[in-house]
């Protein structure tokens, strides 16, 4: 089942939440900062041990104080106009999240809109990629949630999903 909702991803009660991380796994602003603040310092300690993650990839850590069992830190691309392989890198980041979640036995997963904040990826294009990859993995999970932070993003995700 695919769910699209308005909400705060740090409050989702799922097996895995996805963090829109930077390649240094250093925390930051937006959803990344919110997840690190809510999860507590344990998660940052794990990220420091991992060291980093290339764009288009993802790594998993514990979830600290969150309801989720794990955090998957996905590094999406910075939007540079669409001609620098951004779509392939974003698709790869989503694919890697599903592979990590499934490999750790997760049956429910929640995603933010990866790369659409300070990385500037156009929300409509990003939503289509996210939903396309989610549809591919829907049979492998009990629930895939796309948690939108704003009404605007929610409207775009719903329009792209046909709901």
Rounded distance between C-alpha atoms, residue 37 and residue 90, angstroms:
25
pTM of the model: 0.94
Instruction: For residues 105 and 15, give the distance between their C-alpha atoms in angstroms, rounded to a whole number.
Output: 8
Task: Name every residue whose Cβ is closer than 8 Å to that of residue 104 and which is 6 or more positions away in sequence.
Answer: 15, 16, 60, 70
126: closest CA among 78, 162, 163? Answer: 78
Give the total number of structural domains in the chain: 1
For the chain, give the percent of residues with pLDDT over 70. Answer: 99
User: Which CATH number does the domain housing residue 115 bear?
Assistant: 3.40.220.10
Asked about 32 being catalytic, the answer comes back as: yes
Nearest to 70 by CA among 92, 46, 48: 46
52-69 as b/e: b if 16+ CB within 10 A: ebebbbbbbbebbebebb
In this predicted model, what pLDDT tens digit does every residue of 41-64 receive, in sequence order?
999 998 899 999 999 999 999 999
For 85-130, the pLDDT digits (tens) are 999 999 999 999 999 999 999 999 999 999 998 899 999 999 999 9
Query: Could you say which DSSP state residue 76 is in?
Result: P
Among candidate residues 8, 13, 32, 132, the one labeled active-site is 32
Instruction: Return the pLDDT at 28.
Output: 78
Residue from 112, 103, 91 nearest 17 by CA: 112
Q: First-to-last CA distance in the chain?
A: 13
DSSP per position, 104-136: TT-SEEEE--TT-STT---HHHHHHHHHHHHHH
Q: What is the pLDDT of residue 31?
A: 87
Domain extent, residue 38, equals 2-161
């Amino acid at each position: 089942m695919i769910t699209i909702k308005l909400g705060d991803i740090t409050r989702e009660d799922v097996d895995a939440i996805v963090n829109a991380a930077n390649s240094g796994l250093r925390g930051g602003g937006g959803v990344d900062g919110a997840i690190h603040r809510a999860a507590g310092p344990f998660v940052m300690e794990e990220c420091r041990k991992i060291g980093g993650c290339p764009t288009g990839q993802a790594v998993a850590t514990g979830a600290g104080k969150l309801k989720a069992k794990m955090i998957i830190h996905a590094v999406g691309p910075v939007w540079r106009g669409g001609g620098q392989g951004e779509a392939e890198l974003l698709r790869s980041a989503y694919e890697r999240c599903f592979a990590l979640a499934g490999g750790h036995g997760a049956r429910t997963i929640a995603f933010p809109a990866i790369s659409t904040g300070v990385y500037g990826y156009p929300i409509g294009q990003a939503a289509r990629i996210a939903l396309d990859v989610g549809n591919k993995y829907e049979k492998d999970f009990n629930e895939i949630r796309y948690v939108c932070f704003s009404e605007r993003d929610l409207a775009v995700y719903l329009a792209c999903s046909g709901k």
